[in-house]
Each structure stands twice: as C-alpha cells, then as structure tokens.
Structure 1
Amino acid sequence: MSIRHGLLALLERSPMYGYQLRHEFERSTGATWPLNVGQVYTTLARLERDGLVEQTGESDEEGKVVYRLTDAGHAELTGWFATPLAGTDRPRDELAIKVALALTTPGVDVRAVLQTQRTATLRHLQELTRLKAVADGSEDTAWLLVLDSMIFRAEAEVRWLDHSETRLARLAMTQRPAAPSGPTAAVPKDEPSDQAVRR
C-alpha cells in the first residue's frame, strides 16, 4: 500500500492535520508500517499539488493546518479500492533474492542463511500469535485482519524455507560423486591386478 492512498483513506473519514494522520495511520495498521511526520507532510504536499486534498482554511490551537479530501481525491481513492493489486505493484521478495544470491556466491553457506532466517521468522510468528491472543476481537477488527495477513505470510515463509532446504539437500545428493564399489575398485590404475601378476 502506498502512503498516498493510506492518507486519502484516512481523510475520507474526516479532515485531519499531519500529526493526526500519522497517528491514525499507525493505529489502523497496528504500527506495522511506522511513519515519520515528515513523510506525512511531504505526501500531503504532493496530494495537494495533484488536487486530491486541500486545506480547509482552519487550524487547531497550535496552528496546524487541517486537510480534507477533494472530489478528485475521493475518485482516486474509490478507484484504488476497486483495483486489484498486480504482482508488479508489490515489493520484490528480498528473502528469495538473498537466498538465490547466497547459493551462487562463493564462501556463503546457503543452509546457514536458511536456518538463521527460519529461526528469526519463527520468533516473529510467535510474537504475532501472542499479539493476536491479546487483541480485542470486537474493537480491533482492522488490526486483527492485518495481524492475520502477517501470520499467514510468516507461515508461508517458513514453509518456503523448509522447501528450499529440502531442495538443496536433494541437489547435493545428486551432485555427490559416486563412491567406488567392488573388489577391484581399490586397485590403482597404474598397478597390475593379482590376476595379471599370476599370468
């Protein structure tokens, strides 16, 4: 999700100033995407430039400027909610890229990379599960949906890590040179066998 559309969604609720938007954004997403107030005001300036938000002309007691959604901003937000995300709209999978590079970089133990990541992901999954257990199902529905998404993603990551380790183990088995077998296998090539000496 872009910060741009997140702020538009919040302004659909009611006019707000920057600090309010930052607080509501983090509250709505369970602080899974922390924002600094500079990002908020930079994005607001772009939204205002594009005609999607405007200043109300009002300010609070501290002089903070209040913003509201324009008709164009409402149309932009409606279109965003109605449009499915494409794979190209999502961030690249840094973990998959990291493992692929570890596999082809000399001196890197790719199995250690996988095991280290699995430990961290399982720890993160436990923390998410703990947060879900203490959330209020009636009051925190939006936060629970975000939590569920993060839990499913972490579970999928653990499955992928297990799959990757299994694939690498199978690959190592097929690439291992076959051990010599049979009674004549130990005879060096430049030395005659016992049968040759007896002749």
Structure 2
Amino acid sequence: MSIRHGLLALLDQGPRYGYQLRTEFEARTGATWPLNVGQVYTTLGRLERDGLVAPHGEDAEGHVYYAVTEQGRAELRNWFDTPVPRTNPPRDELAIKLAMAVTVPGVDVEAVVQGQRRHSMKALQDYTRLKGQALTAERDGRSDLAWLLVLEQLIFQTEAEIRWLDHCETRIAQYRPAPVSAPEPAPPPAPAPAASAAETPRARRRSRF
C-alpha cells in the first residue's frame, strides 16, 4: 500500500493538515488500511524533504496545512500511469505459513488449511454484507464509488484465497504417504495326507506272508 501516493492524491485536491488526511484516507478506503496520525506526519515529512509537498500556512488552532508541489503532481501522475509491479509480490503471511507448515514435523497442515478456510469464509460473508449496504446507499443517492471498489477487490481476493485453499488441500493429499497395511496372516499349514491302506503297518505285516 502506497501511503505516500495516497496522501499526494488527497493533497492534489487542496491543502490539508495531518488529521484531515488521515480521516479522508480512511473514509475513501473504508478504514480497510487504518492509519495513525504519527504515520501520516512521518510520511508528510518525507514528502516535504523530497520536494513533493510544502507547508501552506496554519489555521487558528495551529494545524499546519500542506499543499502538493508541481513536482508532487508529476509524481502523482506517474503513479497513476504506471502499472503496479507484480515481479516482486508482497509477502503473504498465509503462503509463508503453509510453506513452513509442510516442512515442520508434527504440524497438522490440513487443520491449518481448514481453520483458515473457515476464517476466510467468515470474512467473505462480512465483505458481501458490507457491499450490500454500499449498494443500498447507492440506490438512496449516497454513492461511494471508492469504498465500493475497495470492497469488491476484497471480495474477489478472498474468493481467490478460498479456491487456493481448496487446491492446497488437494495437493497436500496427493503428497500424503500411502498408509502401510498390516501384513496378511500366513495361511494355516495344510493337513498331512491320510496314509493309504497299502501303507498301514497291518498291511505291511500281511505282505510278509
């Protein structure tokens, strides 16, 4: 998430001070990525250092306003025009967790997958409910396109995560070692064949006479 460029986008619409920037950023993203005021002012300090924003006076309460510079506008236009790179994807904690789980003895990987699926399904239900509320507000003339786009991205992302978890469960099952079956008991020895009449002791004695 680029807080730097998000703040530039807000300042491009007019000077603001730190708390205003925080409030508007969270309003436009539905507080999906909450900011604290310290984080906002740290970012503003870096933007000022880089010549992208400049102080723009104070109000009666001592709030320092910031305005975007021409260099900042050029940076913002470049951000909008440049695709988000996918060559270095951000770290995904869930992917890292499963990658570690399949290599650590004693971890019930299937339980990890199933627990995450339940959590993701609950999140998907919550996002879908919020989308319904946003669509209702839109019909009532209180449209918030920015929040609706963020919600739909979260819905698609969570749906993809659930499909991936289903795939993980199938893949893990393929690598599970086949159960070792107990050896079948050996068959009992066959009974000895009965002796014929010609081979009995009485028959042998009779054969002498």
TM-score, normalised to structure 1's length? 0.88
User: What 5-or-longer segments of structure 1 have no aligned partner?
Assistant: none
Q: Which is greater in Rg?
A: 2
Q: Which one of the candidate residues 176, 179, 186 is aligned to 2:178?
A: 176
Structure 2's unaligned 5+ residue stretches are 194-209
Rounded to whole Å, the distance in 2 between the matches of 1:103 and 1:129 is 32
Task: Find runs of 4+ consecutive structure 1 residues off by over 3 angstroms.
Answer: 177-181
SS in 1 for 2:16: coil
Deviation at 1:177, TM superposition (A): 4.3
Question: What residue in structure 1 maps to residue 58 of structure 2?
Answer: 59
Kindly indicate whether residue 113 of structure 2 is the aligned counterpart of residue 96 of structure 1: no
The residue number in structure 2 matching 1:9 is 9
Cα distance 1:97–1:198, how it changes in 2: closer, same or farther (>3 A)?
farther
- Identity of counterpart residues, as a percentage? 59
1:70-129 per-residue CA deviation (whole Å, 9 max, x = no partner) reads: 010001011111111112454212111101111111111011111110111111111111
Q: What are the residue-to-residue correspondences of 1:1-199 with 2, within 5 Å? A: 1-56=1-56, 58-88=57-87, 90-135=89-134, 136-137=137-138, 139-172=143-176, 175-177=177-179, 179=181, 185-187=184-186, 194=189
Structure 1 pair 89–72 and aligned structure 2 pair: CA distance change class (3 A): farther
Structure-2 separation of matches of 1:92 and 1:61: 44
Query: Normalising by the residue count of structure 2, what TM-score does the alignment of the two structures yield?
Result: 0.84
RMSD: 2.0
SS at match of 1:104: coil
Give, as a single letter, the amino acid of the residue that structure 1 aligns with 2:111: A
